[in-house]
Homo-oligomer: A and B are copies of this chain.
Amino acid sequence: MGWVFDIEDPRAARAAWSRIAEPGDREAGALVQSLGPTGALRWLIGDARGRDAGAVAAKHRERWRNRLEGLDPRRELHALGALGGWLLIPEDEGWPEGLNDLGAEAPFCLWVRAAEGLAPVLGQRLCPSVSVVGSRASSAYGELVTATMAGDLAGRGVTIVSGGAFGIDAAAHRAALGAGGLTLAVMAGGVDRLYPLGNERLLAAVASEGAVISELPPGAAPRRERFLARNRLIAALGQVTVVTEAAWRSGAHRTAHVAAELLRPVAAVPGPVTAAQSAGCHRLIRQGVATLVTGADEVRELMAPLGLVTLEDPVVAKGPLDGLPDSDRQVLDSLPLRRGATVTAVVVASGLATPQVMASLGRLERAGRAVQAGGLWRKARSGGGP
């Protein structure tokens, strides 16, 4: 076989491997990790300088060799260049480090269409990042919750990663763009085709203001298995994965499990138990895979497990007896509203000891909660403080 490209170039060799092996091919990943992309190609094409790849790789050699014919990453790199794209490889400084957690299932390279200047620093811009995922068949509630959460996070500098699909994914990308934040869409096919077609305009905006990426070369079709494999990249790229709305059975549910296996914090937003669209979120929480979250602050808390973010309880209206010791509350509750009661009567009604009741009555009187007239005690009408 003659080689039309320079297999010594790690960039070209990795681009070639992204076409030879399907996403998530563990054997190919292990091979490239052990011999390097060039070394692995040498062995595959039977180059004299090729080292032995071992028995496991040998078993899979035929299926990889089937894809050697017509292989020319220069053509695909050219197609990428025509789109203003960029190939990112693990040797680059901008490589998203989180992807390395995938081990032998890490992608060989990333085909990137991004805002100017973003691709070379993509990895740096993924810290902090949150992957927001959910079902395509979303409800108005799910879209509202997603938009609120993604917009809030993006507005605070968190990069929003999602899959570019209809429903929840689209709501997440759109909110991030709307908040002037950064967002990243991970495709299941080549970045030359913005899939699904119905989201083409949204994804074009993501590509020009954020990034659209894929581990597959231009021309690769999005296929079912590739969607499933793509989900592992979404799980690995976010420091936290949030499922904002998902049916019992959904890709988002699987992405959440992958994120949990990667030891990433996983969060899920609850919804009405009467809505099938939230069943997947409830399932993840019940399984202990996901933490229940109700808003962006609780997601941010998961990103800073060492206490960098501290949550405050929501502000709720204070009750009229807040801040009173228990015995004062009990005495106040025992006081009549109209006709006054003797201290003895209050002692009997409250069930407390006489000295305690007298001390409480003094405090309540000073606080304007109780009034006394002629030795008879009753509640102050306003019930207010001083």
* Contact residue among B273, B316, B344 (Cβ-Cβ distance under 8 Å from A66): B344
- A248-B333 in contact given A274-B145, A294-B273, A351-B25 (Cβ < 8 Å): no
Instruction: Encode contact with B along A265-285: 1 for CB under 8 Å, 0 otherwise.
Output: 000011111100011001001
Interface residue total, chain A, C-beta cutoff 8 A? 53
How many identical subunits does the complex contain? 2
- A334-B273 in contact given A285-B285, A294-B282 (Cβ < 8 Å): no
CB pair A224 B329 closer than 8 Å: yes
- Residue A141 interfacial (CB < 8 Å): yes
CB pair B292 A286 closer than 8 Å: yes
Chain B residues in 8 Å Cβ range of A313 = 248
- Residue A54 interfacial (CB < 8 Å): no
- A352-B145 in contact given A223-B333, A273-B269, A292-B292 (Cβ < 8 Å): no
Q: How far is the CB of A168 from chain B (nearest CB, A)?
A: 15
CB under 8 Å from chain B, chain A span 285-323:
285-286, 291-295, 298, 313-314, 316, 321
CB pair A22 B353 closer than 8 Å: no
Which chain B residue has the least Cβ–Cβ distance from A286? Answer: B292
Chain A: residues with CB nearer than 8 A to chain B?
21-22, 25, 60, 62-63, 66-67, 69, 141, 144-145, 223-225, 247-249, 269-274, 278-279, 282, 285-286, 291-295, 298, 313-314, 316, 321, 326, 329-330, 333-334, 344, 347-348, 350-354, 356
